[in-house]
Amino acid sequence: MNPNINKETNIIIDNPCTKPFLADCFYPDTENKYPLIVFAHGYKGYKDWGTFNLMAEEFAKAGFVFVKFNFSHNGTTLDNPTNFDDLMAFGNNNYTKEMSDYNAIIDFFYKHPKVDSTKIAIIGHSRGGGNTILQAYRDNRIKALITLAGIDNFSNRFPKKERLEEFKKNGVFYVENSRTKQQMPHYYQFYEDFIQHEKELNIQFAAQHLKKPYLIIHGTNDEAVKPNTADLLHEWSKNSELFLINEANHTFGGKEPWTKELLPEKLTIVIKKSIDFLKENL
């Protein structure tokens, strides 16, 4: 019989290097301590997107403290965590800010009274997968990691060379959010920050030097991050396991909004495989 699940939602995390952001924490309602799992969303994502609450419940039922959070500059706000109300923050986001937030969230929940701090793993979806590889490489507290449709580099997330001059001249480029139809800005500091910190943001280097158990999950019908990306990550990381899900898309069947009480079939496979991997390696 599954235990009742405690849910601490919209916890404010203060990060003086960026700005305050929100996190949720799901865990079994028992006296025990449990391994900590921290989940990082991807580009144009947020902690309450689509299927993420149902996913958090499944991990908690399986005996984990599951934390999901909004990166501080993902465009959501403390007052409205499910909409992109702060496009100025979104435009001023960059990878070093995200890595600072990642470290801050682990610092905060590492000391949570329900957490067994000797057993910490991290999971990242899409762009959050890239962050997850970097965090796992640099953080000795992390014992295992999982990427879901994870990316293999940050450099190709910028305009191609012929458009970089236009980007520099205008100071901004826009990407349409296909769901909300908002024009999402990226200010030129995004590129400048990446160039300044390119060495420490090298996902390939981090993957090649990882010695921790690493599960790579990818869908064969991923339209956003091609499946051969997973092959590369698996080739680079010597202690990795590659798990392909036939006909799964980038979100493993999830979408925003998700109004059903049950998870999509492909995401259920993702969660079961992830739980088995974490129980074996934590």
Indicate whether 219 belongs to any domain: yes
Distance of alpha carbon 253 from alpha carbon 263, whole angstroms: 8
Question: What is this structure's pTM?
Answer: 0.98
So what's the pLDDT on residue 157? Answer: 83
Indicate whether 129 belongs to any domain: yes
So what's the pLDDT on residue 1? Answer: 62
Indicate whether 181 belongs to any domain: no
Residue spans of alpha helices (H) in the chain = 52-61, 87-91, 95-109, 127-138, 161-170, 189-196, 203-208, 228-236, 265-281
Indicate whether 193 belongs to any domain: no
Residue entry with tokens 């507290």: 141
Which one, of 62, 36, 60, lies nearest residue 282 by Cα? 36
CATH of the domain at 141: 3.40.50.1820
Q: Which residues contact 11 (CB under 8 A, 6 or more apart)?
A: 22, 23, 24, 25
Indicate whether 169 belongs to any domain: no
CA distances from residue 124 to 147, 216, 274 in whole angstroms, order as listed: 5, 10, 12
- Domain count of the fold of the chain: 1
Across the chain, which has 282 residues, the per-10-residue mean pLDDT values are 90 98 97 97 98 98 98 98 98 98 98 97 98 98 98 90 90 95 97 97 98 98 97 98 98 97 98 98 98
How do residues 169-197 score in pLDDT, each as one tens digit?
999 999 999 999 999 999 999 999 999 99
Indicate whether 207 belongs to any domain: yes
How do residues 42-88 score in pLDDT, each as one tens digit?
999 999 999 999 999 999 999 999 999 999 999 999 999 999 999 99
Owning domain of residue 18:
5-158+199-281
Indicate whether 170 belongs to any domain: no
Indicate whether 218 belongs to any domain: yes
So what's the pLDDT on residue 159? Answer: 86
